[in-house]
Structure 1
Amino acid sequence: MMKQALLDAAEAVLSEHGGRALTLNAVAERAGVSKGGLLYHFPTKEALVQALVARVIAEFDELIGSFEDGGPGSYTRAYVLATFEILTGEARAHRRWSAITAAATDPELAEPLNEAMGRWHKRPCGEDPDPATGMAVRLAAEGLWEVLSHRPGLYDEAQLADLRTRLLALASG
């Protein structure tokens, strides 16, 4: 439980103040623990960032799994639904994801995220009614994620809802 609270504190520091503000002292202060208490769980800043990256990967995998229904195009639809949940859900978690990926600028720290991205995008599209369309839909969702990372308010709720509907229709064939 303490590890999760420390990760929550690190995410808050990143979201509110950016990557440069992510220091062990700032995280310990935000979490209300001593630096030694933080170091017990995360002996280095790199270990903390690795844990943040692992948590967002697991969270996205879990979201995809929760939306898969097993029908044709199921994985691509689940990918779109998970993406929109993160982009437009109550928590608007894309800001957190953006901050965490920005913190993982070291290639070694970013490698698990790169591997997950490869897994998410290279999953065989054979279950899609049209594999090329399935790939294009996933890439469009990924592109929207990237755009909203830089300009969160670019599209209003109605535009995002329409885009979600269109991507899901494409994924269903």
Structure 2
Amino acid sequence: MKTQDKILDAASVLILEEGVSNVTLEKIAKLAEISKGGLLYHYRTKEALFQELNTAAIREFEEAISRYLSEQPNGRGAYARAYALATIEDIQKGGTHRSSALISIFSDHPEIMGIWKEGYARWQQQFDQDGLDWEEAATIRYVCDGLWFNEMAGTTSTSAFAADLLHKLLERIDKEEGV
């Protein structure tokens, strides 16, 4: 595992266990099993680390979307399908562990919300150009968002249902397309 990933994972764990205000660079370095100097080489401040935690979550999600887009035929609903599959993958691989920490950061660092607003604006633009009618696109988007939020909040009792619902929505679009 890369040092930066170890640092981000350690920060996520500490945020979830101790709360944002109790996290220090020293604690992160100790849990990541690196020196504080090693941590400071990558992240000069706690705020820079928190910003990267959010930026990395968005980047990894967008990389998964791109991968799914490249694996399927283009056409109506291709982006929505890739977005849904990337959401399911993130939840199945436990990516929401880091993401859960992000919610905690927002309360102490509201400026970081801007990173997410930019990401959501990009994603919405892709949905708008995806060829689905508004209701189909919104349904997929909101089910994904709800699934992701429920995982972050630790209310996973509906995860299997939501993932199944997403697959059924995608199957319906495929059927309409004759795929």
SS class of match (1:43): coil
User: TM-score with structure 1 length normalisation?
Assistant: 0.84
Offset at 1:75?
0.1
Which residue does the alignment assign to 1:154? 157
Residue 170 to residue 122, structure 1, CA distance change in 2 (3 Å): farther
- 2:79 matches 1:75: yes
Of stretches 18-27 and 124-133 in structure 1, the one that deviates more from structure 2 is: 124-133
- One-letter identity of the residue aligned with 1:80: A
User: TM-score with structure 2 length normalisation?
Assistant: 0.81
- 2:154 matches 1:114: no
| 8 Å CA contact retained: 1:24, 1:38 | yes
Which residue does the alignment assign to 2:104? 102
Offset at 1:96?
1.8
Residue 26 to residue 83, structure 1, CA distance change in 2 (3 Å): same
| 8 Å CA contact retained: 2:90, 2:96 | yes
- 2:169 matches 1:167: yes
- 2:56 matches 1:55: yes
SS class of match (1:123): helix
- 2:14 matches 1:10: no
Using the alignment, how far apart are the partners of 2:129 and 2:38 within structure 1? Answer: 49
| 8 Å CA contact retained: 1:9, 1:31 | yes
Residue 145 to residue 25, structure 1, CA distance change in 2 (3 Å): same
| 8 Å CA contact retained: 2:151, 2:159 | no
Using the alignment, how far apart are the partners of 1:2 and 1:17 within structure 2? Answer: 22
Using the alignment, how far apart are the partners of 2:104 and 2:120 within structure 1? Answer: 15
RMSD of aligned residue pairs (Cα, Å) = 2.2
Of stretches 116-125 and 11-20 in structure 1, the one that deviates more from structure 2 is: 11-20
Q: 1:125 aligns with which of 120, 125, 128?
A: 128
Residue by residue, what CA displacement relative to the aligned partner does 1:68-110 show, whole Å, maximum 9, x if unpaired? 12221000011111111112x1x32113212123224322222
Residue 8 to residue 78, structure 1, CA distance change in 2 (3 Å): same
SS class of match (2:86): helix
Q: Note the residue ranges of structure 2 that are not aligned, 5 or more in a row.
A: none
Q: Note the residue ranges of structure 1 that are not aligned, 5 or more in a row.
A: none
Residue 58 to residue 126, structure 1, CA distance change in 2 (3 Å): closer
Residue 66 to residue 95, structure 1, CA distance change in 2 (3 Å): same
